[in-house]
Amino acid sequence: MSRYLKENYQALEEYTPGEQPKDTEYIKLNTNESPFPPANEVLNVLKRQDIENLRLYSDPTMSVLKAKLANLYGVKSENIYLSNGSDDILNFAFMAYGHKGAVFPEITYGFYSVFAELHQIEYEAIPLQDDFTVNYKDYLSKNKLIVIANPNAPTGNARPLREIEEIIKSNPDSVVLIDEAYVDFGGESAYPLCEKYDNLLVVRTFSKSRCMAGARLGYAIASKGIISDLEKIKYSTNPYNINRLTATLGEATVDAEDYYKEKCQEIIKVREYTKEKLESLGFEVLPSKANFLFARHKSYDGEKLYLELKARHILVRHFSTDKIKDFNRITIGTKEQMDKMLLALCEILKGENQ
């Protein structure tokens, strides 16, 4: 850190992304990426790209991609905002709507507290219930920016739409942000409520269910007013926040919806298979509607398990936060990858009994 850094940034504890190691080939089950490549149509579009056009700026209105997404969800283009990954939208939302304070679960996506601190927002982190679920009643009538990941991370638990609607309804004077990074793996989306509630901001990403974490593309669905707020901030920071290549890939991705639906179904199937196998190995596995499982073993230490798997070239995510330090978050890969992981777990657990 240099002595030139503004004081309130000096104490900032930045977000720690999951490891992306380059030293060995790992079975990577630690950052909730898709094990599947983008659809063939997307790969073909990339091959046909006229690289010469990269000398030109991208379209700051993103009108083509917006229209495609609007059509897919049956909303208007004015209800869609696009950004360089959904983290960007979360950042903007804290910046724009956090001035009365923010409320989110204590165990959730680690970036929320980072954004709150970045923008010097006072926040309340509400503990989960004993079964690691969000109690929606804790979020009623707060009159502050409410941020809920649904399904939640790293637990995988999803709340029904009627509970989400109660939260939105009871906070009419503040924005309720529902982060739906994992909704395509079995959750219930809140976006149809955008028509009814102008304080609802639904945030989505192409990173997980659209197999494109490396392209950086996120979007929001909300009332026209909220979308124009986000656009205002975008035009005050970086109007070209989505590059030409990513925009084109995004368009082809929306066109290939069927492929991604099928891949999501496959992930769900492998998730349930893996859950059952883990349980038979003595793990407690939280019910998940996401592309990962959150599991702890009845007798084996969580961090030790993470390290033993890593030694066998399998990466999962361990958080040292006290309340969840017994758990590991395991991204759902292909069935073959999960079988290798399960085999490794068998070995590790057997070694312990000797």
Ligand X SMILES: *Cc1c(COP(=O)(O)O)cnc(C)c1O
Residue 187: DSSP 8-state:
-
Please name the residues in contact with 28: beta carbons below 8 A apart, sequence gap of 6 or more. 315, 331, 333
Q: Which of 27, 153, 183, 220 binds ligand X (CB under 6 A)?
A: 153
One-letter amino acid at 39 equals A
Would you put residue 104 in left (φ > 0), alpha (ψ -120 to 50) or beta? beta
Select from 265, 215, 231, 304 the least CA-distant residue to 80: 231
Q: Which is nearer to ligand X, 205 or 246 (CB)?
A: 205
User: 30, 34, 79, 86: which one contacts ligand X (CB under 6 A)?
Assistant: 86
Residues, the chain: 354
Minimum distance of ligand X from residue 268's CB (angstroms): 17
33 is a site residue for ligand X (CB under 6 A): no
Helix (H) or strand (E) holding 164: helix 161-170
Q: Does 213 bind ligand X (CB under 6 A)?
A: yes
Using CB under 6 A, which of the segments 81-89, 122-130, 134-142, 317-325 binds ligand X? 81-89
Identify which range of 17-25, 79-87, 160-168, 248-256 contacts ligand X by CB under 6 A.
79-87
Would you state the structure tokens that stand for residue 30, as one six-digit string?
Answer: 């630690």
Task: Give the contact letters, 301-320, x = binds to ligand X (CB under 6 A), - = no.
Answer: --------------------
By beta-carbon proximity to ligand X, the closer residue of 96 and 349 is 96
The yes or no reply on residue 93 touching ligand X (CB under 6 A) is no
Q: Which of 149, 211, 330, 341 binds ligand X (CB under 6 A)?
A: 149
Q: 83 with 218: CB under 8 angstroms? A: yes
Give me the least distance between CB of 176 and ligand X, in Å please. Answer: 15
Q: State how far the Cα of 345 lies from the Cα of 351, in Å rounded to an integer.
A: 10
For residues 29 and 35, what is the distance between their CA atoms, to the nearest angstrom?
9
- Torsion, CA 308, CA 312, CA 314, CA 316, rounded to 10: 10
CB of 211 to ligand X, least distance (A): 12
The site map against ligand X for 105-134 (x = CB under 6 A) is ----x-------------------------
Q: Does 253 bind ligand X (CB under 6 A)?
A: no
Find the binding residues for ligand X in span 162-201 (CB under 6 A).
179, 181
207 is a contact residue toward ligand X (CB under 6 A): yes
Q: Are 221 and 196 in contact (CB under 8 A)?
A: no
Quote the tokens at residue 131.
């079964």
Alpha carbons within 13 A on the beta-carbon side of 233? 18
Q: Give me the residues that bind ligand X (CB under 6 A), please.
A: 32, 85-87, 109, 149, 153, 179, 181, 205, 207, 213, 218
